[in-house]
Amino acid sequence: MLDRLAIHTITTKSWDLPIAAAKYAAAGIKGVGVWRQWLDGRPLTESRQILDDHGLSAVSLVRGGFFPHLSPEEKQSAIDDNLRALDEAAAIGAPQVVLVCGAKTELPLSESRKHIEEGLAACIEHAKATGVKLSIEPLHPMYADCRSAINTLGQTNDLIDTLGSPPEIGIAADVYHLWWDPDLKKEIARAGQRIIGFHVCDWLTPTTDLLNDRGLMGEGCIDIKGIRRDVEATGFDSWIEVEIFSDRWWSHDPDDYLQKIIQAYQQHVQ
Amino acid sequence: MLDRLAIHTITTKSWDLPIAAAKYAAAGIKGVGVWRQWLDGRPLTESRQILDDHGLSAVSLVRGGFFPHLSPEEKQSAIDDNLRALDEAAAIGAPQVVLVCGAKTELPLSESRKHIEEGLAACIEHAKATGVKLSIEPLHPMYADCRSAINTLGQTNDLIDTLGSPPEIGIAADVYHLWWDPDLKKEIARAGQRIIGFHVCDWLTPTTDLLNDRGLMGEGCIDIKGIRRDVEATGFDSWIEVEIFSDRWWSHDPDDYLQKIIQAYQQHVQ
C-alpha cells in the first residue's frame, strides 16, 4: 500500500515539477513534499494544476524558517519570506510549511534561539489566516552552526510550550535528525498531536558528507519502524515523507531510484 | 600562563612521544593527553621516563571504552582492554582513562547503551585498585552510529546516576561534542565535580569531514570561554586539553602549528 507515501521533490532532484508529478503518479504515489524552488517560473495556480491533474496532494511546502538575523532588515526579510511561504502553501493546497529554523555562526546559540522564538511568534497570525501550519523541524546537532539552533525534539516541545502551544505550530519529525536521542521516545509522546510531519531516510556508516550523504531507508542504522511506531502511538496517521539528500543517489538513474524508494518504503518503513 | 595547557598527542600526529615531549616542553607546555598508540614499541616505564625527563604530566590516557559487542568474546575482550588501559594509565601517572564508549550499527541504540553500562560496572573495581578514574566522554550525536551511544552530558549524568555515582567514574567534557546542547549549562552544573577533563577545539563552518575537520580554538563558532566559565563554576581547575583531529592542520608544519595552538589557547580559551 502506497497510500501514505509522499516524496520530497528534492529527493528526485533532476526532475522538475511536471516530470516529478508524472513519474510519481505513474508509480502510484499520491503525496508530494514540494520544495519551493520547484514552484519557480510558473504561477502558483499552474503548479497546483499540475499536482491536481496527477491526483497528487501537496503534503508540505519546504521550507521556511531561517529566522536568526544580524540586522533589523534581515529580521523583517525573514519574517516576510515566511509569510510568503504560508501564502504559497495555501495556494498549492499544502497544509504545512516545514521550518528549518536557522542559526548564525556570528551569534551565540541563545541569541539565535531567541530570534527563532520571536520569528515564529510573528508568523502565527498569518498561519491562522491562511489555515496553513508552521511545522518546526528540529535539525541534527551537526547543523547547529548555520542551519538550525533547534536541535532536539525536547527543545522543540519546550519552544512550543513557551509560545503557548498555539494550534498553528506543529512539528516535522525526521528520523535522520532525531534517531540518536536518548529522550526520543519520551519526547515523541510529549509532542503528541503536535507531530504533523514524519520524514524518513537513513543514516549511513560512514557518512562522508554532513549534508548530502543520506541513505535510502534500510541502507543505514536507524530504527525507522520503531520510531514510526512511537510516532503513530500519538495518533499520527498522515503522510510518510521520503526526504533524501544524496549526491550518490542523485547521480543514479532517477526512474530506477524511484522504484528503489518504493521498495525501501515497503520493506523498511511499513 | 600555560600552566593548565595540555595537548593530546593526536593533535600533533606526526610527532612520536619522544619528539612531542621535547617539543611541548621547549614551548613551555606541562601537560600531555597520551594516546595509547604513542606508548607502543617501548616499555611503559620508558614512556613514563620520557615524560618525567621533560617535566611533563600525563593528564589523561586516551582511550578506553568501546563496550558494545556482538558476542561474549567481544564483551570480555572490551573489558580486558579497559582494564589494561587502567594499568597503562597508572604506569605513566595518568589520573584518568578517557572513554569513547562505543556503539554498534548492528545493535539498537538501547542495547549499545546497556552494554556500556555493564562494561563500566565491570571496570569500577579495577579503577579503584589502580587509583585511575574512568572518564566518560559524551560524543557528538553524529557519532552515535559506530563510535559512541553516549551523546549528551545529560545522558552521561543519568548513566552515572544509574551506576550509583561511584567516585571512580568521571566525565571528560569536550566542547566539540557538547556546544550545541540547549541543556548544556544546566547539565554542567548537575555534573559538578564529576567533570574531571575539559577538552577544547572548535567547530568549523562548513565542516567538511565528520571526523578530521576540527578547528583550532577561535577558528569556529563554539563559545569556548563561556563553556569554560560554566565548567569552572563547578570548581574545576585542572588541565585544559587541546584535542584536534584535522587533516588540514596535520599537513601543516608542526612546529608552527604548536605556536598557533599556544596563541589560540591564550586568545580564545583563557
| Residues of chain A contacting residue B210, judged by C-beta atoms under 8 Å apart | 142, 206-208, 210
Q: pLDDT tier at A214 (50, 70, 90 boundaries)?
A: very high
Take residue A59 and report the three cell numbers written for it: 503534503
Q: Test A210 with B205 for CB contact under 8 angstroms.
A: no
A112 touches A102 (CB < 8 A): yes
Over residues A110-132, the mean pLDDT reads 98
| Residues of chain B contacting residue A142, judged by C-beta atoms under 8 Å apart | 140-142, 207, 210
- Of the candidates B108, B210, B221, the beta carbon closest to that of A145 is on B221
Measuring CA to CA, how many Å separate B34 from each of A156, A222, B5, B95, B134? 40, 34, 14, 11, 15
Q: Could you give the CA distance from residue B17 to residue B15 in angstroms, rounded to a whole number?
A: 7
Is B70 an 8 Å CB contact of chain A? no
- According to DSSP, the β-strands at A240-242 and A195-200 are parallel
Name the DSSP class of A64: E
Strand (E) or helix (H) holding A249: helix A247-250
| Residues of chain B contacting residue A146, judged by C-beta atoms under 8 Å apart | 205-206
Q: Name the CA dihedral angle for A56, A60, A61, A62, rounded to a multiple of 10 degrees.
A: -120
Q: Of B74, B77, B78, which is closest to residue B66 (Cα–Cα)?
A: B78
Q: Test B108 with A152 for CB contact under 8 angstroms.
A: no
- Of the candidates B108, B141, B179, the beta carbon closest to that of A223 is on B108
| Type of residue at A162 | T
List A134's β-bridge partners, or say none. Answer: A97, A169
Predicted pLDDT of residue B93: 98
**Structural domain span for residue B181:** 5-268
B137 touches B171 (CB < 8 A): yes
Residues B73-108: pLDDT tens digits? 999 999 999 999 999 999 999 999 999 999 999 999
Predicted pLDDT of residue B106: 97
ipTM above 0.90, yes or no: yes
Q: Could you give the CA distance from residue B183 to residue B227 in angstroms, rounded to a whole number?
A: 12
Q: pLDDT tier at A198 (50, 70, 90 boundaries)?
A: very high
Over residues B217-234, the mean pLDDT reads 98
Question: Among A106, A179, A180, A202, which would you mutate to test the B interface (most chain B Cβ atoms within 10 Å of its Cβ)?
Answer: A180
Over residues A194-213, the mean pLDDT reads 98
| Residues of chain A contacting residue B226, judged by C-beta atoms under 8 Å apart | 108
Take residue B5 and report the three cell numbers written for it: 595547557
pLDDT reading at B1 higher than 90: no
Look at the block and give the residue holding cell 612521544.
B17
- Give the Cβ contact number of residue A40 at 10 Å: 10
Is A145 an 8 Å CB contact of chain B? yes
Residues A166-182: pLDDT tens digits? 999 999 999 999 999 99
Q: Test B152 with A182 for CB contact under 8 angstroms.
A: yes
Q: How many CA atoms lie within 13 A of A57 on its CB side?
A: 15
Task: Region of A41 please: left (phi>0), alpha (psi -120 to 50) or beta.
Answer: left
Share of chain B above pLDDT 70, in %: 100
Number of H helices, E strands in chain A: 10, 8
Helix%, strand%, coil% for chain A, nearest 5? 45, 20, 35
Is B146 an 8 Å CB contact of chain A? yes
Closest-CA residue in chain A for B202?
A145
Residues A16-69: pLDDT tens digits? 999 999 999 999 999 999 999 999 999 999 999 999 999 999 999 999 999 999
Q: Test A146 with B205 for CB contact under 8 angstroms.
A: yes
| Type of residue at B120 | L
Q: Of B161, B159, B169, B173, which is closest to residue B132 (Cα–Cα)?
A: B169
Residues A126-158: pLDDT tens digits? 999 999 999 999 999 999 999 999 999 999 999
B79 touches B97 (CB < 8 A): no
Max Cα distance, chain B (Å): 49
Is B44 an 8 Å CB contact of chain A? no
Q: Could you give the CA distance from residue B75 to residue B107 in angstroms, rounded to a whole number?
A: 14
**CATH code where residue A242 lies:** 3.20.20.150
Take residue A161 and report the three cell numbers written for it: 510550550
A235: exposed, middle or buried (C-beta count within 10 Å: 0-12, 13-18, 19+)?
A: exposed
Residues B237-270: pLDDT tens digits? 999 999 999 999 999 999 999 999 999 999 999 9
Q: Could you give the CA distance from residue A167 to residue B114 in angstroms, rounded to a whole number?
A: 38
Task: Region of B197 please: left (phi>0), alpha (psi -120 to 50) or beta.
Answer: beta
| Residues of chain B contacting residue A155, judged by C-beta atoms under 8 Å apart | 182
Predicted pLDDT of residue B19: 98
B12 touches B23 (CB < 8 A): yes
Residues A76-113: pLDDT tens digits? 999 999 999 999 999 999 999 999 999 999 999 999 99
Q: Test A205 with B145 for CB contact under 8 angstroms.
A: yes
Collapsed DSSP state (helix, strand, coil) of residue A140: coil
Residues B140-192: pLDDT tens digits? 999 999 999 999 999 999 999 999 999 999 999 999 999 999 999 999 999 99
- Of the candidates B105, B182, B221, the beta carbon closest to that of A105 is on B221
List A136's β-bridge partners, or say none. Answer: A99, A171
Over residues A211-226, the mean pLDDT reads 98
Contacts of B67-70 with C-beta under 8 Å, sequence gap 24+, read: B67/B101, B67/B102, B67/B115, B67/B116, B67/B118, B67/B119, B67/B120, B68/B101, B68/B102, B68/B103, B68/B104, B68/B107, B68/B111, B68/B112, B68/B115, B68/B116, B68/B149, B69/B104, B69/B115, B70/B104, B70/B106, B70/B107
A198 touches A228 (CB < 8 A): yes
- Give the Cβ contact number of residue A41 at 10 Å: 10
Number of domains within chain B: 1
Predicted pLDDT of residue A1: 86
* pTM for the full predicted model: 0.98
